[in-house]
A and B are shown apart, each in its own frame.
Chain A
Amino acid sequence: MLKEQVSRMNFNSFLIKFVVFYNYFVLYYLIFVNGIYTFLLILSMKGVFIHGKTSEFLPYYEMLSSIFVPPVSIIVPCHNEESTIVENIYSLLSLEYSQFEIVVVNDGSTDNTLQVLIDGLNLKKIDRPYKSSISTADVRGVYISGKFENLVVIDKENGGKADALNSGVNICKYPLFTAIDADSVLEKNALLKVVVPFIKDSERVVASGGIVRIVNGSKVDRGFIEKVKLSQNSLAIFQTVEYLRAFLFGRIGFSMLNGLLIVSGAFGVFKKDIVIKVGGYTSNTIGEDMELIIKIHEYLRERKEDYRVVFVPDPVCWTQAPEDIKSLSSQRIRWHRGLMDSLFRHKKMFLNPKYGIVGMFSIPYYWIVELFGPIIEVTGYVVVILSIIFGLINWKFAIIFFLFAVVYGVFLSIGAVLLEEYNFKKYEDVKDYLKLILYSILENFGYRQMVAWWRFRAFFGYKKGKKTWGNIKRKEFTE
């Protein structure tokens, strides 16, 4: 009996010690993470400022008709996109760019995507030979359009998004290619703007990415944005704030350091030869966009090449955000598993000076902040509950600390809105601005915890090498 009491006391005191230790750990972790965010925010402010100023003296008009602007292949992988695919192809066909081709890859859709494409674009099947530089699932047929000479459609067996992209890389004919999600809408001049780094520094730039914004709520007419507005759906607005933060200070900051690890799968331009050299997109992964960029960094850093992976904040690709909890949770779980996949595959780069800023800063950031962040956050909440049970909580400090975290989160969000307002001014209505600020406060009370929980859940059931297409309920773009 006494023995039992002693062991229970020992366990209790261990638990108490652990809870106290964990509280301090979370506190210092939060300070560390926010320190990094602030550093990135400052870098981004500089980056956005320089970008804003330099774009004032870029001769865009001349570039539109210049023969010196490199031709680009636009690869559009699609899977069960029958409702939006044709409209999106039409909008891509009217992009402002001197020379481009569109390669649509139908990755074994089980709906009517192929037939919709055949009817809508007057496709004819041809027997086209092509160089298979990257191995992919079987190609069932290549189609060209009777209406548009610069359009090719590949119909292939289902192999996942990465496999579809690789098929596109195999068949596309230009030295630069861009990968665009079928459910996205590009601004007319977006392609030209995202290619600018390749014009300015064609030797060193190997990949460039533009900003992805949430289209929900905006007025879209025939595949083009007519008026930018915030959605009426709360989940979509929360994601708008998140995207602004992720792109406007996350990616710009990393790009300034030449340590960018993600060029969004929704909109990025790559040098075809380097993508082929690294073996193309990795098929058995979920986060193929991040995986490709890490492979490029790894390959070029190992060869001590001077290169750049850049983010351009100006060219915009508009994408549909999920408006229901189910789609959003599955999207976030998928993204987090993609992140895990890429980081596990390249664990040798972690804190490895051989990989320069990528190995010493970007990869550790993604491990410590992005990958383990949700674990620390969720367990943090559990520990807070335990602290209350054990009577260990200093209520005054806990409340102040929580409010501090909220206010800091709001500060970072306002920072992103500030960057947005200074350079891009996409949301014209004052009402939209007020909503953005309101939601950047509200997200700390429920939304953020929900996202952390999904990302935490991603660790369970993670299976290396799983490849799926994300399924989000798509809406047709209508006025």
Chain B
Amino acid sequence: MFNSFIIYMFYILCLLNVFFFIYLLFKKLIDKKKQNFKKEKREYFEEEINKYIFSEDENDFSKLDAALEMEVLEELLLEYSDIISGEGKERLLSISRQTGILGKNLELMHKRSWWKQAMGAYFIGQMEAEEGVPILLEKIDSEKEELAYIAKRSLIKISGTKYLEQIMEKEVHGSIKTKNRVMSLIDDTEEDIYSTMEKLFERENTFLSIIALESLGNRKDERVIPYIKKYIFNQEKELRISSIKAAMSIGDIGDDEYFWYLLKLETDESWEVRTFFAKLLGIFKRTESVDVLSTLLTDENWHVRFNSGESLLKQGEIGILTLSEMLLSEDKFASDRAFDIIQRETIFNNLEDRILLYGNCEKIMGNIEEFKNAKRAGVTYEF
């Protein structure tokens, strides 16, 4: 009984192996032929698309029936959509309509499998096809995270900020709340997002406020400043950090009151906040920044000290002078960190030449020499 079972299994496996072997062999041969055909078609379509987009040629595309031709053209349209915008994009959309490729993708949105729907959603978004909006609105509620995300992205690509608030609302309730993913969605819209972000602030939801702060900051929208002031001393560490990030993106707006307000972060209890604050001070090129950074260079936390050194460098002459003085500090880390930065800048950015132009040239060079002689005797360093 068992013997015959093994024998039957043996025969079945032999047949399966032969079947797979022949199937794969044929597939391989057919794929090769397909590849050559696709290559030819690709060249042809590329020329046609270029003519349609860039020249006066108004010859329309005809509807395609052959699946392989559609596949080639669809791939090309997607590639073009990554690099073309404005009128050119409208022309791409027109090609996809004429050839039936858009219609095919709209149909995909009604298929049962979620990945087919996602592929359709992706194409519709890339083409910025208005006719896809109603079905995309349905799909943003999909339980399949991937599909919902692609649908949201496509909606934003097509309609800008129109559905942004609705989409953000869904994100708050989604099972995966990934800040960068949400922010990259917002990044897809070229329109002014302020009014939508304002509504997000009104929700008093930490996640949404973080998104709004950083998104407005990334766009250097100064209307975010009142919100920075509002949240920079919030109880929640994440909100304080996002406020600093927004402030970093906005930069120094020359408002002393605002700057003095930010300086209060020096004694924040969280090292993460102090780390970002140290980075922020690199942007505010003022004497007060240098003073605070000198203190932060001896902070108890390594990350804070590390970033303080970098920010001091950004302060220009006065920062470099401070760094050179730090070389002689009793705090070994501060001294080593200062030396690391000075060495690196010498190698990459000709710091030595820059120093020669500074009023404090002699002082800085003297400090460096003193450091080298006193602490690093016998070791050769590049200067």
Interface residues of A (CB under 8 A from B): 50, 53-54, 56-57, 59, 61-62, 66-68, 70, 124-129, 131, 144, 146, 149, 199-204, 396-397, 400-401, 403-404, 407-408, 410-411, 414-415, 417-418, 421, 425, 428, 430, 433-434, 437
Contacts and interface: CB of A to CB of B under 8 A. Distances in A.
B184 A66 contact: yes
Nearest to B305: A129
A303 B224 CA distance: 39
B376 interface: yes
A131 B307 CA distance: 13
Given A68-B183, A201-B178, A404 B122 contact: no
A421 B26 CA distance: 12
B181 A68 contact: yes
Given A414-B24, A417-B24, A437-B21, 13 more contacts: A54-B115, A54-B146, A56-B122, A59-B82, A59-B122, A125-B381, A126-B381, A149-B348, A202-B178, A400-B7, A411-B20, A414-B17, A433-B24
Nearest to A57: B122
B333 A129 contact: yes
28 contacts: A59-B82, A70-B180, A124-B343, A124-B347, A127-B339, A129-B336, A129-B340, A144-B347, A146-B347, A149-B348, A199-B178, A200-B146, A200-B181, A201-B178, A202-B178, A203-B176, A204-B176, A400-B6, A404-B10, A408-B13, A411-B16, A411-B17, A414-B17, A415-B20, A421-B24, A430-B29, A430-B32, A433-B28
A51 B94 CA distance: 31
Contacts of A415: 20
B60 interface: no
Contacts of B178: 199-203
A56 B119 contact: yes
B13 A407 contact: yes
Interface string B353-375: 00000000000000000000000
Given A131-B302, A202-B180, A400 B337 contact: no
Contact of A57 (B29, B119, B347): B119
Contacts of B218: 67
A68 B339 contact: no
Which 3 pairs across A and B sit closest by C-beta, in order of nearness?
Answer: A57-B122, A53-B115, A129-B336
B28 A61 contact: no
Interface string B283-310: 0000000000000000000110000000
A400 B3 contact: yes
A203 to B, nearest CB: 7
B17 A410 contact: yes
A456 B116 CA distance: 48
A61 B80 CA distance: 11
A434 B29 CA distance: 12
B48 to A, nearest CB: 22
Interface string B24-41: 110111011000000000
A127 B180 contact: no
B13 A411 contact: yes
Contacts of A434: 25
Contacts of B256: none
B210 interface: no
B106 interface: no
B20 A418 contact: yes
A404 B9 contact: yes
B313 interface: no
B382 interface: yes
A200 B150 CA distance: 12
Contacts of B16: 411
